[in-house]
Chains A and B, each alone.
Chain A
Amino acid sequence: MKKYVSTEMNPEIKLKINGLTYKLRVTPEKTLIDVLRDQLGLIGTKKGCNEGNGGAWTVLIDGLPMCSCLLLAVGLQNNEITTIEGSKMDEDIQIIQKAFVEVGAIQCGFCSPGMILSTKGLLDKNPNPSVYEIKEAFSGNICRCTGYKKIIKAIQTASFQINEKKSL
């Protein structure tokens, strides 16, 4: 096998993902999704395009839903990154996951991690979104399987359950 250039020449960066700090070397043009999937093995974030269309590749950056295929990893050293694997530490996300499963909003499931994190982002900002507000917030999240009806229902169910938990 021919000699293969290692990444040692690349700058070392620190990324805070799901509460853990990772030290790693990346080439400056590496997008967050490639670092997550290929270097850190966090394959819960799905990849389906390279232009930020679709939303399945959504992660939370400081709590805001963003497309991991558009962000360069080197630029995120001062941010908190949450991926779907971070749901273990977040009770709200677990409630959202359960709502998606229980109302049948997951068919192939490729859009689901992105949908679930986008829901978390929306409900943090707006705990009681109307259907109109849900539609506005999710206009960039494609789901080809469900026709969205059950996704809207899942978001509403999660919103209700999270609010109920908070009022206890």
Chain B
Amino acid sequence: MSKFQYVGKRVPFKGSYEKAQGKALFGADVRIPGMLQACVLRSPYPHARVKSIDISKALKLPGVITIATPWNTPTTKFGIVKNDEQFLTDEAKYIGDEIVAIAAVERDIACKAVELVDVDYELLDSVYDPIEALNCNSPLVHSDFTSNLCHHVEIERGDIFTGFNDADANLEKTFKLPFQYQAYLEPQTATAMWSDNSLTIWAPGQSAKHLSDWFSSAYLLPKDNFRFIQTCVGGAFGGKNYMRVVPIVSVLAKMADAPVQFVLDREEDFLTSQPRVPMTINIKMGITRNGIITAKETNIIADNGAYAFLAPGVLEVASVRVDTLYRFKNIKTKASLVYTNKLAAGGMRGFGNPQSHFAVEVMIDLLANELNIDPSEIRLKNAAQVGDENIHGYRLASCELQSTIELAKIKSRWEENRTKSKKRGNKKYGIGMASSVHVSGSVMACPEGDGSSVMVQILENGRIIVFTGEGELGQGAKSVIAQIVAEELCVSYDQVSVEDLDTNIIQGGAGAQGSRVTVYAGNSAILASKDAVLKLKESAADIWNCNVKDVIFRNAKLINVITESELDFSTVSKHYIHMTGGSRVIGQGMFSAKNVEIANEIRYGNISMSYPFATQVAEVFVDVNTGKVEILRIIAVLDVGQIINLDAFEGQVEGGIAQGLGYALFEDFIFDKGTLLNPNFTDYNVLTIKDVPEIKIYTTDSIDPYGPFGAKSVGELALVSTAAAIANAVYNATGKEIVGLPIDPFEILK
């Protein structure tokens, strides 16, 4: 019997009935009387200066209300890490860059008006390859910067020279990792409305805090004058952090003095979602005969495209996070993020971690082959363990990596399947493994220190409304928070509802990114519930005319320990309203992680509340005639601490693996110079229902001391090692080294 009433259980997701009935309001479902629709003129050239813009014909089109150009909008440069973007630009830096924005009474009219705008461009030299872009005589993507290097990381720990000297075998490989589009079904959307000097944005955004930081800097608007209301979010996966639709609707709404909505079409969304950053990773590793890794040297070149957005953070993650997986002693990493005249890449689920995990986890199997030992042995021997403080100062208060490897071996019948004969008619069987680590929130998302606030209100009859600054992406955040509150207050789950995020009601948090919501909002929800209990006790003490310390709270009842009399929840919450002259019981929870260190220049110190681990095993068939890879089964073993919502947990793992399979097998952007050739769901293949293999999910027993009820994160972790496990299975089947994604059948046949 579980000791919990709701934690760890299957409960229906909050809001899912409304979604099933078509009543849930997503970004494009926002309707405001007098609302205009926007359309944008995008540059057809990868690099061009705008010489002139003629809007006279467009202005005459009936229904057109306002036209924004680079010359009648603020020219402030803004950004998150780099101030490199503007509201609209007079120097296009990629095909798709926003030059003119039009608001009209209908979208069709706004789009027609866009066609009537004449822009005269002066074409400039472009650069598409990041290595060429680093050349000192390459064209500059941003003419006001001195080079195309956007961000650089250099880290050395231990002694790399000695490390390689101690090795019995060394191996060096170069891996090429592609773009990956978030491919959420709801395109990016925002609606803006001004009143006086205050702006309200309705959007399916991931992060209230970051949206307001970013946007306030752009508009020189005090943060308090920026209100963000989160609509239902139709999937995000990292792509709805910094949405370019927000500055555009805001500026149009200001100029038109009317609410404006902008809904991207699918092709525009491909161009502006900031997909996974493509990287070339050169890696050299040294290992002893016994399978102990002695050194790792990594060089990363990452293609940023035209604007930085979150990509510098992605580079930081790609540079260091995988080092928490094994007990590395000597490492050296150099990483460069480079501007090119292509669409901007940025954060997608995993945030740089799948890229470097691919390189390291494939290397482990190649090294195992050199040494002629089982790759799982190398993993087990080098695995991080609980209590470790790693080379970057990360402290592992919980870690069951070794158990995930061992359990994955048992569940996949590893020994037997690794050694059995490969041939099955036209196909070859293979089995491969890859492990992974991620974070539960990270200082990279909040360098000044992360925190979260939750407010619990108890109504007259005991119904509970919860407000959170973190929002909901569809991953089940509201349900997780409601379960935690219900557990703490001993009330039924149905009694608890969680409101949509509105920054006029509660401080906006960093939101659903960096796998932080369960641990941050969860801890905060516990504190808010405890605070509410205190107030209930005050109310009961007032009824009994006794001392507050003589009142205890048990099973949703207030008990007077002296007289042993009882009062129920709703009586006491009703009394509180009379007692205070009209206030509900309001519990406030403010949580900040005490075990996390603030970001510093040397990148040393504990960056996350906790570290979840996983091992995945893939079983594949490879067709010897076509090179086609068919996935038979994925076995995932996770160390994620206490699970709060079982359906949400499985949903995250299954959905994450599906995206990992796409990354491994067929997702990529095809470019002809600066032109994206596959910006639609016909030519960009995401996993369909026909492609899903059998997925088996297991967990190791673990409780993290810092997580709410012992929980760690799961959302991003789920896909971090999927592609590497598949590559290793293909290697096992065919003996072909897989050093690039998506896996190319022709390479296998070669």
Contact = CB atoms under 8 A, between A and B. Distances in A.
B234 A46 contact: yes
A150 B695 CA distance: 11
B28 interface: yes
B651 A104 contact: yes
Interface stretch (B61-69, B160-168, B535-543, B729-737): B61-69
A129 interface: no
Contacts of A46: 26, 185-186, 234
A106 interface: yes
Interface residues of A, number: 59
A147 B688 contact: no
A2 B64 contact: yes
Which of the listed residues A1, A5, A107, A140 has the most CB atoms from chain B within 10 Å of its own CB? Answer: A107
Nearest to A154: B20
Contacts of B692: 147-149
Contacts of B182: 144
Contacts of A98: 20
B62 A4 contact: yes
A109 B474 contact: yes
Mostly, the B contact residues are loop
Interface string A45-57: 1111111011010
Interface string B462-479: 000000000001111000
A141 B690 CA distance: 10
B4 interface: no
Contacts of B681: 49, 51, 53-54, 142
A41 B23 CA distance: 11
Contacts of B19: 106, 108-109, 112-113
B644 interface: no
Contact of A50 (B20, B23, B184, B265): B265
A10 to B, nearest CB: 12
Interface stretch (B490-498, B575-583, B655-663, B669-677): B655-663
Interface stretch (B9-17, B335-343, B428-436): B9-17
Contacts of A53: 680-682
Given A48-B234, A53-B682, A104 B648 contact: yes
A101 B14 CA distance: 10
Contacts of A12: none
Which of the listed residues A138, A144, A146 has the most CB atoms from chain B within 10 Å of its own CB? Answer: A144
Interface string B58-82: 0000111100000000000000000
Contacts of A1: 65
Interface string B35-47: 0000000000000
Nearest to B105: A4
A167 interface: no
Contact of B186 (A4, A38, A108, A150): A108
Which of the listed residues A134, A135, A146 has the most CB atoms from chain B within 10 Å of its own CB? Answer: A146
B682 to A, nearest CB: 6
Nearest to B718: A147
Contacts of A51: 266, 680-682
A139 B688 contact: yes
A87 interface: yes
Interface string B351-369: 0000000000000000000
A106 B13 contact: yes
B21 A142 contact: no
Contacts, number: 187
B187 interface: yes
B387 interface: no
Interface in A53-88: 53-54, 56, 83-85, 87
B34 to A, nearest CB: 10
Contacts of B105: 4
B562 interface: no
B651 A142 contact: no
B205 interface: no
B136 interface: no
Contacts of A103: 647
A152 interface: yes
B13 A146 contact: no
A101 B12 contact: yes
Nearest to B681: A53
A47 B107 CA distance: 14
A48 B266 contact: yes
A147 B642 CA distance: 23
Given A107-B651, A108-B233, A147 B695 contact: yes
30 contacts: A2-B65, A3-B62, A43-B28, A47-B28, A50-B266, A51-B680, A84-B22, A85-B21, A104-B10, A104-B647, A104-B651, A107-B235, A108-B232, A108-B234, A109-B20, A109-B232, A110-B186, A110-B235, A139-B690, A142-B686, A144-B183, A144-B184, A144-B235, A145-B475, A146-B654, A146-B655, A147-B655, A147-B657, A147-B695, A150-B651
Interface of A: 1-5, 37-38, 41-51, 53-54, 56, 83-85, 87, 97-98, 100-104, 106-113, 116, 134-136, 138-152
Interface of B: 10, 12-13, 15-17, 19-26, 28-29, 31, 62-65, 105-106, 109, 182-187, 232-237, 263, 265-266, 473-476, 647-648, 650-651, 653-659, 680-682, 686-690, 692, 695
Given A49-B266, A97-B17, A151-B689, 7 more contacts: A43-B29, A44-B22, A104-B650, A112-B19, A135-B689, A139-B689, A150-B654
**Sorted from nearest, which 10 A-B pairs have the closest CB atoms?**
A44-B22, A108-B474, A109-B19, A104-B647, A110-B234, A147-B654, A84-B22, A53-B681, A147-B658, A97-B20
